[in-house]
Amino acid sequence: MAPSDSSPSKQLRPGLWQVVNDRYPGSMITKEDLVPLAALKKPLSECRVAFLSTSGVQPKGSLRFDTAHPVGDFTFRRVPSESPVEDLEIHQLKYPTFGAERDLNVIFPIERLRELRDEGVIGALNKSFYTFIGYNMDPERVERTLARDVAEALVEDQVDIALAAPA
Amino acid sequence: MSLPYLKKAVAEDDRETLIRYVRLHLGDGDDAAGSKEIDKAWVEALKPLLELPETDRGFIESTLAERDHATLCHLFFYLHLYLVRHSGEWIHDGPF
């Protein structure tokens, strides 16, 4: 795949947050800053890819996400990208996990990404994927801590693409 | 509801907003379901005590005396989920 030439100056889905806040007063997030698109600088087949997920997937035995706290959990877990799916579990109350319990890949496509790596479609998988839960009532804290910490980890790992998917 | 919205409700002693938020939280976005969940937890806490079983009062007293207020509040939310899970009627999508 050729590097993207998408314009970084166009905001995707303008007005989205206003709609959310109109529907749920006082809720969620207000976001007016322009978030520019980042252009891919080299072919996908040479890129190191990390996966980010709000699914609450985590290695068995790690401190489970805090689904009881009324304001949320602002921590993340590193999930080794070579983890067998049997070594992973989900701690999250706020979305149906029935399908994911049968096949984790529907929410956390770790095996599909390994296949793409093995086929040479993507260059490499980062040693870690990053997961957290989406139930966080303080979006500013998400930006200041969780998002910053994950971003710093991605930079440290020299990741080219961070594929993020909500649950 | 965002954290600033809830803190404003605390500052203004807007209990209706705070109660609704707790119900929404415990009812996964449905305040009527959340209200029912709160009742369910209290019933589940009451039932075993009707037989006056021996309980670990020492643990209770020392926990209340030695743990900080925020930790006890956090525990309260955990106990809610523990009790509704114990009831066998689990409305949440994921596991506790």
Instruction: Show the 3-state SS of chain A.
Output: CCCCCCCCCCCCCCCHHHHHHHHCCCCCCCCCCCCCCCCCCCCHHHCEEEEEECECEEECCCCCCCCCCCCECCCCEEEECCCCHHHEEECCCCCCCHHHHHCHHHCCCHHHHHHHHHCCCCCEECCEEEECECCECCHHHHHHHHHHHHHHHHHHCCCCEEEEECC
Contacts of B17 (CB under 8 A, 6+ apart): B1, B5, B6, B9
pLDDT at residue B16, rounded to an integer: 93
Contact B96 A67 (CB under 8 A): yes
ipTM over 0.95: no
Burial of A61: CB neighbours in 10 Å, binned 0-12, 13-18, 19+:
exposed
Q: Is the pLDDT of residue B69 over 70?
A: yes
Q: How far apart are CA B1 and CA B67, in angstroms?
A: 29
**What integer best gives the mean pLDDT of chain B?**
93
Of A56, A95, A137, nearest to B1 by CB-CB distance is A137
pLDDT at residue A160, rounded to an integer: 96
C-alpha distance from A32 to closest chain B C-alpha (Å)? 17
Q: Is the pLDDT of residue B17 over 70?
A: yes
pTM: 0.82
**What residues 85-144 of chain A have any CB closer than 8 A to a CB of chain B?**
90-98, 137-141
Contact A97 B94 (CB under 8 A): yes
Q: Is the pLDDT of residue B79 over 70?
A: yes
pLDDT at residue A9, rounded to an integer: 54
- Residue ranges in chain A whose pLDDT is less than 70: 1-33
Q: Tokens in use for B9? A: 């409700």
pLDDT at residue B75, rounded to an integer: 98
Q: Which of B63, B93, B58, B88 is nearest to B75 (CA)?
A: B63
Q: Which residue has the higher pLDDT, A141 or B38?
A: B38
Residue of B nearest to A138 (CA): B3
